[in-house]
Amino acid sequence: MARRPLVVGNWKMNGTAREAAHLARALVDGHPDGAADVAVCPPFPYLAAVAGIVAGTPVALGAQDVSPQASGAHTGEVSAGMLHDVGCRWVIVGHSERRTRLGETDEAVRAKFERARESGLAPIACVGETLEEREAGEAEQVVGRQVDALLADGGAEAVGESVIAYEPVWAIGTGRNAAPEDAQAMHRAVRDRVASRRAAAAESVRILYGGSVNEKNAAELFSMPDIDGGLVGGASLDPDRFIAICRAAGG
Ligand code: PEP
C-alpha cells in the first residue's frame, strides 16, 4: 500500500500572534500542493487565528496536546471537542517533552489518543527512547512498550488510521538527527509490532520521523521505506526551511 507522506510542524511554545499569522500566511502562499499532506500545530491561543488563514488550503491545522477528559472541571485543559470546533484535524499526543518533564505515562497518552479519535481528530502519537536507554541497548524495548500501550485492548485498528511519530529524545532540538538507516530500523520495528496485532493496520499507519529534521537531511530520511514523513520542531518556524522539508517529502 502506498502511504501518502505527511509533514507536521510543531511550533511548540514559540512566537507571538503576529508571528504565527505571518508564518501561516507564508506557508499557505509558498506550499507546493503536491504529493504530501502538510499540517502545522501552533500554540493553543493562536489556533483560531491560524485556522482562519489555512482554511480551504492544503495546509491542515493541529494542536500540540489534548485533555483525556471530554469536558468539565479540568482547569487549564483543552478538550478534543474544542480543538475540533476550532478547525483542528490533527493533535500531537505523548510528545517526549510532556512525557519526560510533565510525567505523562503510556496510559495517559493512550487515553488522549482515544479521546482524540472519539472527537474526530487524528492523533499523532509520539514514541522514542532517551540517550541513556539507547546506550543501554533498550531503545527497541522502550519504543515497543510505548507502541504496545496504543495497541492494547483492540487499539490496533485505531492505530492503522492514525500516525505514530518516532522521535528519539536525544535527537529532539539537538541538531543531531538519527542516521537514516537507524531510524528506518526503528520504524520497521514499530511497523512489525503493529503487524503482530493487525497486519492491515501496519500497512496503513503512517510513521513519521522526528528529531532535528532539516532541509538538508529530510530527503535522505524520507527516502527510507518505512519513514512516511516528518514531525518537525525548530525548522518548522522558518517558512522557507519548512517548505523545503515538505518538498523533500513530495509536497
Ligand atoms: C519535536 O519537538 O517534535 C522535534 C522533532 O523538534 P526538532 O525538529 O526541533 O528536533
pLDDT at 44: 98
Query: Quick one: pLDDT at residue 34?
Result: 81
pTM: 0.97
> Is there an atom of ligand 1 within 6 Å of 62 CB?
no
Q: Grid coordinates in use for 24?
A: 501561516
What's the confidence (pLDDT) of residue 191? Answer: 98
Phi, psi of 116 (to 5 degrees): -60, -45
Q: Could you confirm whether domain 6-250 is CATH 2.30.40.10?
A: no
Of 95, 104, 114, 215, which is the active-site residue? 95
Using CA positions, which residue lies closest to atom 8 of ligand 1? 233
Cα torsion angle, 45, 50, 56, 58, sign: negative
Mean pLDDT by 10 residues, the chain (251 residues): 93 98 97 88 98 97 98 98 98 97 97 96 98 97 98 90 97 96 98 96 97 97 98 98 96 65
Domain assignments of the chain as residue spans, ordered by start = 6-250
Q: Is 95 a catalytic residue?
A: yes
Whether 92 lines ligand 1, by a CB cut-off of 6 Å, is no
Q: How far does the centroid of ligand 1 lie from the alpha carbon of residue 11, in Å?
A: 9
- Report whether 242 contacts 235 (CB < 8 A): yes
**Is-catalytic flag, 77?**
no
Burial of 189 (0-12, 13-18, 19+ CB in 10 A): middle
Q: How far is CA 7 from CA 21, 60, 75, 136, 207, in A?
A: 19, 10, 32, 31, 11
CA-236 nearest atom, ligand 1: 8
DSSP state at residue 237: G
